[in-house]
Structure 1
Amino acid sequence: MEFILYKLHFKTGVHIGDGGLSGSEYTLPSDTFFSALCHETVKQGLDIKEWVNAVRSKELVFSDGLPFIESRIYIPKPLKPVLAEKTSSPKFKKAFKKLKYIPVDKLDEYMAGDLKADDEEKTLSGLGVFETHEKNSIKTYTETEPYQIGIYRFKRGNGIYFCVGYKKEKTIALFERLLQGLSFTGVGGKISSGYGKFETEKANVPFTMEKRLKSKNAKTYMTLSFCLPKENELESAMQNAYYLVGKRSGFVQSQNYAESFVKKKDMYLFRSGSCFSVQFEGDIYDVSSGGNHPVYRYGKPLFLEVD
C-alpha cells in the first residue's frame, strides 16, 4: 500500500460540530469525512456501491482530518501511557493530559516522557482561532430568532490533512475526483452558509511516518481514524488495548431515504489515538433504520506504529 497526504487549506471558516452550534472542533472525524464523500459520489452520479466496496475491501483507507502547521504534521496523542517515572510530577501530568496532538517526528520523544508538552501546546495554539458568528433563524414572515455558530478559522499555511493509503491507481483517482468536488461544496456543518470550502495540496508522507504506517511487527499500533473491529476481531483487539470510545450519531441527509428526517443508528467507535497490540480490519457499517437505502458509517482503522 502506498501513502500520500492531502492537505486542506480552507478559504473560509469551518464548522465541525462538537455537540452544539456554538462551538467547533478543528479536526474532522474520518466517519464524517466518509459520509461527505458518499454524498459527493451520489451528487456526481457515480456508483456508490463501487466506492463503498473499494473502501470496505481496503483498496483505500484514510485518517481523521488532523492538524498541520506549515510543514509540520501532527498526529493524535497516543493513549498508551508514557514512561511514568518521567511524568510523575503534577506539573508534567497536567501538561501531558492537556496535550491532544503531537508532531509525528516527536512520537518517540513523547513516549519516552521527554517531550516539552507546554512548548508543544503553545505551538499548536498557533494553528488558528475560534470565532462566533451571529445568524438569524426565520421563524415566521415577520419574526426572526438570533443564534450563534462556532467557527474555526485556520491561519494561512495551516489546516487539516488526510493521510490516505491506496492500492490501485483507479481508486485514488476516484478519491481525488470526490475530494475536488467537496472542495467547492465544503466539509463540516453549515456548508449552505458558505463554510468549509478549501483548496487541496498533495504532499509526500514524511519518511519516518511512512515507515511507521507500513510496519507489521510493532509492539503497539495507534489508529489515526475512528474505527471498530468486526465482531470476530473484537476479543483479540481488546487485549492490552488503551482506548477511548466516541458516540457517533446524526440524521440521514439523503432526500431519497425517507419522507422526513430520520436518525442514523447510534454507534460507539474507538477514537483516533486508541492503541492496540494487534491490527484489525474493521468495516463499513450500515446504520440505516428502515429507510429506502443503506446508510454507511466508516469504521476502518489506519494504523501507525507507536513502539
Structure 2
Amino acid sequence: MSKFNKKKVFLIMMLMSTLMVMSSSKWLSIWMGMEINMMTTIPFLFKNKSKELSQKIMIYFLIQAMGSIIMLTMILIKNFNWNMSLINILMTLSMMIKLGTPPFHPWMPEMFNKMNWDIMFVMITLQKINPLIVTSQLSEQNKILTIIMITSATVGSISGINQLSLNKIMAFSSINHMAWMLMCMLTKNELWMKYFIIYSIITATLCVMFHKNLIFYTNQLNINSNNPSKIKMLLMMLNLGGLPPLPGFFLKWMTVEAMMTSGYFLIMTIMIFSSMVTLMFYMRMMYTSMMLSSMTLKFKLMDSSKYFYSMIMVNIIMPIMILI
C-alpha cells in the first residue's frame, strides 16, 4: 500500500472516530472515540523518519494522553456522586489540554513549527472537533470557561505579534479563535458549530495557498513576488481577522451580539481588542508584499488556475448560506 493510500485510510478512520464521538450518549464511548482518534492521528503525522518529527509526535502523544487520563479519571469518579461542579471543571481542563488553550498552550506552536500545511490544516481544524463537542456538553454553568476565554484571547493575540513563522502565527490565531468559539458555547450553544465550519473553510483556503507556494515564513511572502494570488491571500487574511464586510466579520458580529444579550460586557471588550491585535499582525504580514512601490504583479485577480478562484467564491458564498 502506498503512503498516499495509507494516509487516506488513517484520515477516514479519524473522521469515523469523530462521528463516533458526535453520536455517543455515554461518556466512556466518547472517551473511546477520542482515543481512536488520537491513535489514528499519530501514523497520519509520521511522514518520514526524522528526529525532529519523532519528537513532535511524542510531545503530541504525551499531551493528548495526559488529557485522556484526566478525562477517564473524572468519568470513573462520576459514579461516586462526588462534587459534580469540580468534576465538570476538571473534565473541561482536560479538554483544554487537548485543545492547546492557555495556560496549556506552549506545546502547540512548537509542534506546528515547520509542519506541512496539509497536516497543519488537519491539526488546527479536524483534531479540535472532539474536544469542542465534549466542552459544549460541559459548558452550562461552567465558571472556568470565562477565565480560559480571556487568557486565550489575550495570549493568542499578543504572542502572535513577534512571530516570523507562519505556522506559529496560524497556531496562535487558532488559540485566539478558540476563545470566540468558547464564548459561543456559553451564550448560544449551537453558534459555535457555525463559527467552526466557517473558520475551517477560511483556514483550508489559506493552508492550500501556502502549500502551493511553499511559504513557511513571513519574508517568503515578499520573495514569491510573482505570485498572482496575493490579492486572494490578503483577502483571506482579512477574512480570518474579521474585517467587514467579509464573512469572518459576521461571525464575530453574531458572537458580540450574543455576548451583549447575555451581559458579558467586560469579556466582550477584551475579546474585541484582542481581535484588533490579531488583525494588525495579519495586515502586517501582507503589507510589504502589497506595497505599490514594489515591482510585482499584484492586481491580477484571476490566474490560470480556476481552482483558487472557486475557493474564494466558496469563502464568500458558503458562510452566508450557513449563517442564514
- TM-score range (shorter-chain normalised) is under 0.3
TM-score (norm 2): 0.23
More relative contact order, 1 or 2 (CA 8 Å, 6+ apart): 1
Higher strand share: 1
Higher helix share: 2
TM-score (norm 1): 0.24
